[in-house]
Amino acid sequence: MKIEVFKRLQAGNDAEADEVRRLLAPHGITLINIMGSPGSGKTTLLEATLKSLGRAPSPLRCAVLEGDLATIQDAERIADLNVPVAQLLTEGGCHLTAGLVHHALSAKDAFDLDALDCVFVENVGNLVCPANFDLGEHARVVVLSVAEGDDKITKYPHTFRAAGNGSAVVLSKLDLLPQCRFDLERARRDLSAINPQAALFEVGAIDGTGVEAWAQWVREVGANSSETDSPPAPT
């Protein structure tokens, strides 16, 4: 009986994730689900990424859904960049659900989907639970700060495995590397053992190290997902 309840909840989420995909496909929008521990640097990475993607000659039109338990602090940081943003509050819940993402994206007057190329979802800070919930995304990204230690890929294998085919791991806060006990070689080795398909980026979002390579990957995910999702625009 217990198992049945969880199955139904999970099935509910998966159906909502399909709804998210159906909503975004006609607009050619790419959805990227960003996961990571509290304080792994997700919002700071997003700030640097949005600045890079917004630049001429070919700016990508982005929006952000910010997940949080209780506050709108991260959404305020994104709004300061003049990027469309909504705050998704879980009220104590440990992960975002596809239903909440769909609700935000389809809400009247919230977003102009015709004016967007890419939506980032910053999940609740949690390296365990969010990996179990498909949000309808085209790519999953796990952000791991070097301050968290180089044992985390082996200790949270489920999440790094779920980053999956075509998705990415961003090693963040690279500027702290000299002060931290973090063996980059070990992290690279552990990731390629657990998830050899995942792209790995080593980024210092504050000084800009590695941001362009990572932003280029986001552009490529966008190009690939529009090819798959929607017919070419009429010429």
Q: What b/e string do you get for 58-72 counting C-beta neighbours within 10 Å, with b at 16 or more?
A: eebbbbbbbbbeeee
**DSSP annotation of 219:** H
Examine residue 113 and tell whether it contacts a copy of itself (CB under 8 A). no
- Site track for a copy of itself across 58-87, x = CB under 8 A: ----------xxxx-x--------------
Helix axes 2-24, 98-106, angle to 10 degrees: 30
Residue 30, sorted as left (phi over 0), alpha (psi -120 to 50) or beta, turns out to be beta
Binding piece for a copy of itself, criterion CB under 8 A, among 57-65, 115-123, 150-158, 217-225: 150-158
Examine residue 189 and tell whether it contacts a copy of itself (CB under 8 A). no
Cα angle vertex 223, ends 192, 114, to 5°? Answer: 130
Q: How far is the CB of 151 from a copy of itself (least distance, A)?
A: 6
Binds a copy of itself by CB under 8 A, chosen from 7, 22, 55, 158: 158
Q: Are 226 and 30 contacting, i.e. CB atoms less than 8 angstroms apart?
A: yes
Smallest CA-to-CA distance from 24 within 121, 89, 164, 132 is with 121
Binds a copy of itself by CB under 8 A, chosen from 23, 89, 113, 175: 175
Smallest CA-to-CA distance from 30 within 141, 182, 163, 136 is with 136
Binds a copy of itself by CB under 8 A, chosen from 133, 156, 201, 214: 156
Examine residue 180 and tell whether it contacts a copy of itself (CB under 8 A). yes
The residue among 132 and 165 lying less far from a copy of itself, judged by its C-beta, is 132
Q: How far is the CB of 38 from a copy of itself (least distance, A)?
A: 5
Examine residue 57 and tell whether it contacts a copy of itself (CB under 8 A). no
Cα angle vertex 177, ends 176, 183, to 5°? Answer: 150
Examine residue 163 and tell whether it contacts a copy of itself (CB under 8 A). no
Examine residue 160 and tell whether it contacts a copy of itself (CB under 8 A). no
Examine residue 176 and tell whether it contacts a copy of itself (CB under 8 A). yes
Query: What is the spatial distance between Cα 35 and Cα 144, in angstroms, rounded to a whole number?
Result: 9
Q: How many CB atoms lie within 10 A of CB 158?
A: 12
Q: Are 200 and 234 contacting, i.e. CB atoms less than 8 angstroms apart?
A: no
Examine residue 157 and tell whether it contacts a copy of itself (CB under 8 A). yes
Binding piece for a copy of itself, criterion CB under 8 A, among 49-57, 119-127, 216-224, 225-233: 119-127
- Residues in touch with a copy of itself (CB under 8 A): 1-2, 5, 9, 37-39, 68-71, 73, 92, 94, 124-129, 145, 147-149, 151-152, 154-158, 173, 175-176, 179-180
